[in-house]
Structure 1
Amino acid sequence: MSNSKSILKNTAIFGSVKFISLVIGLVRTKLAAVLLGTQGVGFFGLIAATIELIIGIFNAGIPTSMVKYLSVSTDEDLPKKFYIARKITLGLAILGLLFCFIFAEKLSDFTFGTNDFRWAFQLLSIAVFTRILLIAFNSYLQSRIYLKTLANAAIVGNILGIFCTIPLYYFFRIDGVVYNIVAIALIDILVIYIAFRKIKQPVKKVSHQEFSQDSKNILTESFYYSFAGILAVLSAYIVQIYIRKSGDLDELGLFVTGNTIINQYVAIVFMSMSYDYFPRISKAAKDIVQLNKEVNQQLKIGLIVLFPILLWLLLLCDWVVRLLFSKDFLGSVSYVEFAILGVFFKMISWILAYTLIAKSQKKIFVINEFIFTVLYIGIHLYGFQNNQITGLGIAYSVYFFLYLLAIFFICKYKTKVEMNSQNFKISVLFSFLILFSIIIKIFVTNPIAVNVLLGILTIFASIWSLRQIVNIYAIKNH
């Protein structure tokens, strides 16, 4: 099977998973919108951002380094390597749990300006523990390319999760957000553990000396990725706190809604990158020719899949918001419309940025992430201050355009990884077409003209995408 076909197949696997997740998410978000309102969604956003920050600090960047560590392990060494991986994640999970529980009052006061939610963070320490513990199992499955196992586990977890969400939101309202996060975290760890047991991967204990040496190497490399990951989560957290303090929970709810839509709707491509693409380029890191080939094949598939998806989202944005949430959330539409171009830039930049991690360009990666974290905060705070939710959408696209430029030149001159001419030309063309579509949607006042123009462009883009997919599958197996 050709690499392009393999990438497309794996994208299809996670695409089907994401479709099921979206259907289940439709029920979950609709319940949140109806039962909790914009303030409830804003509350969820702040709680989730705080927990992600704690997890980002205490997972110490090991999701990335552990996939690399296990990807390059031989079958003979794997039982020992996985034993080490489990021990490391267990220790970090315990530290995360203790931090969240002990400092629950401080977290409540800083996040909400009151200590009324101390109980919430104490309870959420369970979710922190299970989420970090889950890393070892996910890293193993990802590194050994057990993609169907991961996909099936995600489907089962989502289905079971919705049975928790409905009664918890109905009976406990906003408090149900906390109970729901904990319940879903417990379900996820249980489902993954059962799936992992079926693989029957043996585990072999190692000496204290071997554990110390390997764990030191993992955590040393993880420090850089941890720092970068914490910066990303921290920047999102600061922006949300600023929106709550400068605006209100309603505006924060609209921002969280917009982010949810653009992240969930295009997650097909990004899930494939994190689960399939990164292990492949980690193995090819020392062969620059093969690495460039992997990068450009992933980029090709990303362009084929994402371009029509973004156009459909732009065309149907109002309906998507009404369907997933309610008419009370239509204020988030302007954010989504302006942020769509940023999603396109994000896809390209992430594909390139992963090569810095694969090639262990740690210092360059961290310095770049630090600079752009400061820029992310500054651009978004300025955007909200000047044009509220619309300003945040514009800020999102401007930020990822600048980030893409930086990553493009860093990869080209530091790691010798670059886009081939065909992908570069298509990327530029699609960027202008998406920008042109946004201008039509925002500035053309006749709704019929907007729908006709965007509809024609979207249909042609979809036909082109389908033809490309058919051509890839038509290639004979080598």
Structure 2
Amino acid sequence: MLTRIKKIIATDLVKVTSLNAVATLVRMLTGFISVKVVAVLIGPAGVALLGQLTNFTTILLNISTGGIGPGMTRYVAQYSESPKRYAVFLSAGLRIILTLSIISGIVLLVAGRFFSIQILKDAGYAFVFRILGGTLILYALNTYLVAIINGFREFRKYALANMAGSVTGLLFSVVLAYNFGLTGALIGAVTYQSVVFLVTLSMVTRSSWFSRRAFGLPFSRQAGTRLGHYAIMTLVSAITVPASQLLVRSYINHSTGSMDAAGLWEGMNRISAMYLMVITTSLSVYYLPKLARLKTRAEVKTEIFQIYKLVLPFLLILSAGIYLFRGLIIEWLFDTSFADMRSLFLFQLIGDFFKIASWILAYQLIARAMTRTFIFTEIFFNGSFVLLSMLFVPMYGPLGATIGYAVNFFLYLITMVLIFRKTLFAHAS
């Protein structure tokens, strides 16, 4: 038993998880404080509007980066021992991001009023979108640098960058929401990542691989094309996921006639994001670079089942604890106006379990650059989530959206098993 425990502790995933433990704890604590303060200050309806803006910002960020983050991580990891080869991708990636973020920023500056009406249903918040447009380039560059750090497997710096983002996000959201209410919370949501860029840049310039020449090579069409395969996948996911949430949140509001009901569902989403953070962060840091190095189906199968053995039991225990203490969690994170959220936990937690189980398989779509399959499944299952929610919400209110969420990820898991059945049942070579 001791030998087995030592082997588990020695695995790369556990090492990465341990290294990220402090960063994850910081993110969870800052998220806890931020959600609590913002929820009390702006209420369920304000939380719903903040969720709308956050989803829109996610879409814009990925458009402004061209969605090349996972591609940068993948190719930097693959060519980390060859400065000449990874420099080609660093330079190509930088030019793509500068071009797209400048164009996206200009669009936001010009059309801020339009987006304010479409997303927040109020022209009075146009200035928030213009602030986002003016700072979007820094936001995009921070995402680009973090992807590179991940590719070089500099886990300590990756953790520090995440902690910097968490602390800055807390300060911006709490201070601005306290002083300016909903308007301040919205401004904080679109500005804090831009400040984090300065912290990330200072860490990157001290890395052994950093060189200005590595970012100054002529644009390589070949590198751009290879990054493009990942860009397409990332953009599809980055647009369809928040877009589906936007649609579901709007439908809950329309169906129930209450933005507060949409706010309860958004609060449940935030709880999921907070507790799944410890798993999703470790997988994103460890899993994609690792899969990029594996050559055979048998190796991939071994890695998948190793992760399942480590992650799923932990997730079950964590989910059970959250369900049992859901009343206290609502009291700690929110206030009495969110009490009806208790009914949303069961199916949300079931959906979260199926989500992680399916994602462990679905990462192969990115690692293998299975572009067509990835695009189809992302569009299909985000669309089915919206349709399932539209089916159940009229019957059960916001609870219906969590039922749709659970059913959708169960179907997604079955699909991933079918797609990778040859890998899952591969024989050792």
TM-score (norm 2): 0.91
Match of residue 148 from structure 1:
156
Which piece of structure 1 moves more, 192-201 or 36-45?
192-201
Q: Which residue of 2 aligns with 1:277?
A: 287
Of 11, 20, 26, the residue aligned with 2:32 is: 26
Offset of residue 420 of structure 1 = 8.8
* 3-state DSSP of counterpart to 1:117: helix
Aligned to 1:254: 264
Q: Which of 337, 357, 360 is the matching residue for 1:351? A: 360
In structure 2, the partner of 1:475 is none
In the alignment, is residue 139 of structure 1 matched against residue 150 of structure 2?
A: no
Matches within 5 A, 1:17-416: 17-73=23-79, 74-77=81-84, 78-200=86-208, 201-204=210-213, 208=218, 210-246=219-255, 247-284=257-294, 286-412=295-421, 416=422
Please state how far the C-alpha of 1:344 moved relative to its aligned partner: 0.7
Deviation at 1:333, TM superposition (A): 2.0
Deviation of the 1:389 alpha carbon:
1.6
Compute the displacement of 1:406 (Å): 0.7
Q: 1:43 to 1:277 in 2, by over 3 A?
A: same
Amino acid at match of 2:152: R
Change in CA separation of 1:267 and 1:34 when aligned onto 2, cut-off 3 Å: same
Shift in alpha-carbon separation, 1:238–1:129, aligned structure 2, 3 A: farther
Structure 1 distance, partners of 2:135, 2:260, is 26
Matches of 1:183 and 1:114, distance apart in 2: 20
One-letter amino acid of the counterpart of residue 236, structure 2: F
Any unmatched runs of 5+ in structure 1? Answer: 422-478
Give the distance between the partners of 1:54 and 1:13, measured in 2 at CA.
30
Deviation per residue, 1:97-154 (Å, 9 max, x gap): 1222222222112123332221121112245333322222111111111111111222
- Pairwise CA distance, 1:388: 0.8
2 CA distance for matches of 1:96 and 1:382? 35
Task: Return the match for 2:11 from 5, 8, 30.
Answer: 5
Contact 2:72 2:90 in 1 (8 A): no
CA offsets 1:24-64 (integer angstroms, 9 cap, x no match): 22221111122111122112111111212222334332122
Q: Is the 8 A contact 1:348 1:404 kept in 2?
A: yes
Deviates more, 1:126-135 or 1:395-404: 126-135
In structure 2, the CA distance between the partners of 1:40 and 1:396, relative to structure 1 (3 Å rule), is same
TM-score by length of 1: 0.82
1:402 and 1:85 map into 2 onto residues whose CA distance is: 35
Q: Shift of the alpha carbon at 1:305?
A: 2.1
Counting only pairs closer than 5 Å after superposition, residues 416-431 of structure 1 correspond to structure 2 as 416-418=422-424
Please report how far the alpha carbon of residue 94 of structure 1 lies from its aligned counterpart in structure 2 after TM superposition.
1.3
Question: 1:66-101 CA distances to partner (integer Å, 9 max, x unpaired)?
Answer: 211212113322334323222222222212212222
Q: Secondary structure at the match of 2:266?
A: helix
Contact kept in structure 1, 2:128 and 2:190, CA below 8 Å? no
Q: Quick one: distance in 1 between partners of 2:172 and 2:394?
A: 38
Counterpart for residue 453 of structure 1: none
**Bigger mean CA offset, 33-42 vs 93-102:** 93-102
> Over aligned residue pairs, what C-alpha RMSD do you find?
2.1
Asked if the contact 1:124–1:181 (Cα under 8 Å) also holds between the matched residues in 2, the reply is no
Q: In the superposition, relative to structure 1, how do residues 156 and 348 fare at CA in structure 2: closer, same or farther (>3 Å)?
A: same
In the alignment, is the contact (CA less than 8 A) between 2:72 and 2:227 conserved in 1? Answer: yes
How many angstroms apart in 2 are the aligned matches of 1:255 and 1:419?
38
Percent sequence identity is 22
1:1-44 deviation per Cα after TM superposition (whole angstroms, max 9, x unaligned): 95762211212222332222222222211111221111221121
CA distance in structure 2 between the aligned counterparts of 1:367 and 1:166, rounded to whole angstroms: 40
Segment drifting more, 187-196 vs 55-64? 55-64
Q: Is the 8 A contact 1:68 1:143 kept in 2?
A: yes
Number of equivalent positions: 416
Q: Deviation of residue 309 (structure 1)?
A: 0.7
Distance 1:300 1:95 in 2: 45
Secondary structure of the residue aligned to 1:60 is coil
CA-CA distance at 1:206 after TM superposition? 5.6
Equivalent position SS for 1:198: coil
Which 10-residue stretch deviates more, 400-409 or 331-340?
Answer: 331-340
